[in-house]
Amino acid sequence: MTQDAFEKVINSIEKVRKPGEKPEDDLYSTDKFICDLCQGIREKEEITQCGFCGRWVCKDNDRSAKGKESYCWNEELKACESCSGLILLAQKGDLKEENTLREEKDTEKNSKEDDKDE
Ligand SMILES: [Zn+2]
Ligand SMILES: [Zn+2]
């Protein structure tokens, strides 16, 4: 697959937050933050911003100690779990998913226009 196709997938990722935008504070403790994917409350050290979509997601800081707990950060791809799925598809050269996403966006747009008509 070409770099161009890969970039298309990356560009199709919805930017949820701007780079450098702060993560969501936990309501009850100012030093804790909320993961944008699983809504879990995490320590400052346990949350990281995805460079593709801007989401703040929890990451596995100490895999050996925490075992099977699941995290929303894919260290291998340097992306959140939401983006890593798209990136993996892009790397495989399977761009069907990208087309599906585009169709979904179009459908969304159309349904909004339908609402207006009613
Ligand atoms: Zn999470
Ligand atoms: Zn992401």
Instruction: Identify the pLDDT of residue 91.
Output: 81
Task: Tell me the ligand closest to 50's alpha carbon.
Answer: 2
Instruction: Identify the pLDDT of residue 30.
Output: 84
Task: Tell me the ligand closest to 72's alpha carbon.
Answer: 1
Q: Give 101 or 5, the one with higher predicted confidence.
A: 5
Task: Tell me the ligand closest to 36's alpha carbon.
Answer: 1
Residue 73 CA to ligand 2 centre (angstroms):
8
Confidence of residue 51 (pLDDT cuts 50, 70, 90): very high
Which residue in the block uniquely carries the two structure tokens 């495989």? 92
SS3 annotation, the chain: CCHHHHHHHHHHCCCCCCCCCCCEECCCCCCEEECCCCCCEEEHHHEEECCCCCCEEECCCCHHHHCCCCCCEECCCCEEHHHHHHHHHHHHCCCHHHHHHHHHHHHHHHHHHHHHHC
Residue 84 CA to ligand 2 centre (angstroms):
7
Residue 83 CA to ligand 2 centre (angstroms):
4
Instruction: Report domain extents, the chain.
Output: 3-117
Residue 102 CA to ligand 1 centre (angstroms):
26
Q: Which residues pair with 49 in a beta bridge?
A: 56
Contact, 42 vs 32, CB < 8 A?
Answer: yes
Residue 48 CA to ligand 1 centre (angstroms):
10
Range 66-80 average pLDDT: 81
Indicate if the alpha-carbon torsion angle 41, 15, 75, 49 is positive or negative: negative
Per residue in 78-106, pLDDT (tens digit) is: 999 999 999 998 888 655 545 555 555 56
Residue 87 CA to ligand 2 centre (angstroms):
10
> Residue 59 pLDDT > 80, yes or no?
yes
Q: Look up the pTM and report it.
A: 0.69
Q: How many CB atoms lie within 10 A of CB 14?
A: 12
Per residue in 15-44, pLDDT (tens digit) is: 999 999 999 999 888 889 999 999 999 999
